[in-house]
């Protein structure tokens, strides 16, 4: 029972600050993502589904750099954190593809509202994955 209590206390510490920071970082990453998406679709005529995946990568780079230092203040070495971040991001990437495909091709929704909903869902996935696994503990 004590181990469970310490686990909960360890992961709840500073949670409101972390969520706030994660949202700010997420907004900055979203600017990179949406900017890339819109630039590719409107400027280069790229299909929205592959364009959003390129945007996802651009946002991911911003997210890793800022979340590692600002949100989670991680001491996990880059050699461990980067592959963990990549796996969590890979899950988000797959979710982004699946959701955007369904919203655009099955429900025929416009790509920007579809991306807003997709971003909200993937945000929850990314926060939990990165807090609990990517940046959560020290070196393995």
Global pTM value: 0.67
Rounded to 10°, the helix 78-101/48-66 angle is 150
Model pLDDT, residue 138:
52
Model pLDDT, residue 4:
52
Model pLDDT, residue 136:
80
Q: What is the dihedral of CA 86, 91, 92, 94, to 10 degrees?
A: 120
Q: Which residue has the higher pLDDT, 39 or 124?
A: 39
């Amino acid at each position: 029972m004590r181990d469970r209590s310490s686990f909960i206390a360890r992961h709840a510490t500073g949670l409101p600050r972390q969520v706030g920071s994660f949202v700010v970082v997420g907004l900055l990453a979203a600017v990179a993502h949406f900017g890339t998406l819109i630039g590719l679709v409107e400027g280069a005529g790229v299909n929205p589904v592959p364009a959003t995946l390129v945007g996802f990568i651009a946002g991911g780079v911003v997210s890793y750099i800022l979340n590692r230092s600002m949100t989670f203040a991680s001491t996990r070495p880059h050699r461990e954190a980067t592959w963990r971040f990549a796996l969590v991001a890979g899950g988000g990437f797959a979710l982004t593809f699946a959701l955007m495909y369904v919203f655009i091709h099955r429900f025929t929704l416009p790509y920007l509202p579809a991306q807003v909903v997709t971003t909200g869902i993937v945000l929850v996935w990314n926060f939990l994955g990165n807090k609990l696994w990517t940046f959560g503990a020290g070196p393995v």
